[in-house]
Amino acid sequence: MAVRPILVLSLACVVNAAAQPKDDPAPKGKGGISAKPVGFKLQLDVVSDGYDGKTCWFHPRAGAIPGATPTVVLTMQKWDIKASDLFLPVQSQESKNLGKSWTPVVEHADTLGRRPEANGVVVGVCDFTPKWHAASKTLLGTGHTVRYKDDKLIPVRPREAVWSAYDPAKKTWSKWDILKMPDDPKWWNSGAGSTQRVDLENGDVLLPLYAKPRDAKAYFTTVARCRFDGKELKFEERTRPVNSPQWQIVHLRQQIVEHRAAIKDLETRIAVQRQRRGEATAGPGSPSAVRDRFRGSNRNPLRASP
């Protein structure tokens, strides 16, 4: 199952980070940044099985609560395979012996499940990623919303980044809440699904986001600086947005494909008309001549227009 290799890699990092000697000096790399080597071992273990042909596990990710032996909390959710991206509530389980045994899987329908909205729309969370927040001593998970109607993904939909905090005593999560962004159309569809955040020493959270206005075709990316006090995640500021030139190239390539299809269609029409009139299919007005003239004036379709 997809859950296994991701889980093993997470546990391997936990084991070796805990075993690293504290007095081992870290060699300095470029810019004086510490580059302490970390050893690891991969081991394949099954923590959950029972595929029923209707749902399968998705988004398995582990966060570790520090201790003499770290408590590892694995979050995941089931995907209803009858439709694209049809996710059920987030579930979790714990291991207090570095993966040798696990508590039963618990579904958090009340806190990390779906909520009804207007006009038959329901909103849930997905792409959930837990990580320890040292300043608040909290296991903080982030992700984003997803909206459905009639158990189908809504094609054009708003999206928000979300967060939730884990209670190790109760083994449950707080009700997911939205990261409130500035009142600006550019954040109409913004998410932090499956992103890997960085926590600063002062507790600030650097959270990667991708977003776009309602009618935009391409997303931009940015990093939000947030504050988390253990009770609420608040947006403070963001970096300059980065737009993807790759999408522009893909769009241009699609235009080229469409132009070529149009030329082929034109060639076919000309050939049919000439045949009906009993004319030759070669010469200055033939389909091949039309094609050659077009290609001669468009040798580099990706170059910038003057």
The model's pLDDT over 232-256, given as tens digits with 9 standing for 90+, comes to 999 999 998 887 666 566 666 666 7
Residue 15: inside a domain: no
pTM: 0.71
The pLDDT of residue 16:
40
203 and 276 belong to one structural domain:
no
24 pLDDT above the threshold of 60: no
Task: Looking at the chain, list the stretches that DSSP marks H as alpha helix, in order from N- to C-terminal side.
Answer: 3-19, 109-112, 245-276, 287-297
Residue 166 belongs to domain spanning: 56-243
Mean pLDDT over all residues of the chain?
82
d(CA 191, CA 212): 10
167 and 283 belong to one structural domain:
no
Q: Which residues, listed in sequence order, are joined to residue 77 by a DSSP beta bridge?
A: 58, 90
Domain count of the fold of the chain: 2
**End-of-domain residue from the set 201, 220, 243:** 243
Name residue 63's amino acid.
G
274 and 235 belong to one structural domain:
no
178 and 256 belong to one structural domain:
no
74 pLDDT above the threshold of 90: yes
DSSP 100: S
The pLDDT of residue 271:
78
184 pLDDT above the threshold of 60: yes
Tokens of 26: 């870290």
184 and 288 belong to one structural domain:
no
136 and 174 belong to one structural domain:
yes
Q: What is the mean pLDDT of residues 85-105?
A: 95
CATH number of residue 235's parent domain: 2.120.10.10
Residue 211: inside a domain: yes
Which is higher by pLDDT, 115 or 81?
115
pLDDT in tens, 33-49: 566 788 888 888 888 88
Residue 170: inside a domain: yes
124 and 191 belong to one structural domain:
yes
Contact 58, 76 (CB under 8 A): yes
Residue 269: inside a domain: yes
213 and 253 belong to one structural domain:
no
278 and 229 belong to one structural domain:
no
9 pLDDT above the threshold of 90: no
**End-of-domain residue from the set 226, 243, 260:** 243
Query: Residue 4: which of 64, 69, 51, 66 has the closest Cα?
Result: 51
d(CA 267, CA 262): 9
The pLDDT of residue 72:
97
150 and 60 belong to one structural domain:
yes
The pLDDT of residue 44:
86
- Give the gyration radius of the chain's Cα atoms: 27
The pLDDT of residue 304:
38
Q: What is the mean pLDDT of residues 162-189?
A: 97
Contact 182, 235 (CB under 8 A): yes
Cα torsion through 81, 83, 87, 93, rounded to 10: 0
d(CA 117, CA 131): 29
Q: What is the mean pLDDT of residues 174-185?
A: 97
Residue 116: inside a domain: yes
236 and 257 belong to one structural domain:
no
Q: Torsions phi, psi of 269, nearest 5?
A: -65, -45
Q: What is the mean pLDDT of residues 84-97?
A: 95
Q: Torsions phi, psi of 185, nearest 5?
A: -60, -25
Rounded percentage of the chain residues whose pLDDT exceeds 70: 75
254 and 237 belong to one structural domain:
no
Query: Residue 62: which of 113, 99, 112, 110 has the closest Cα?
Result: 99
The pLDDT of residue 279:
62
Place of tokens 């199952």: 1
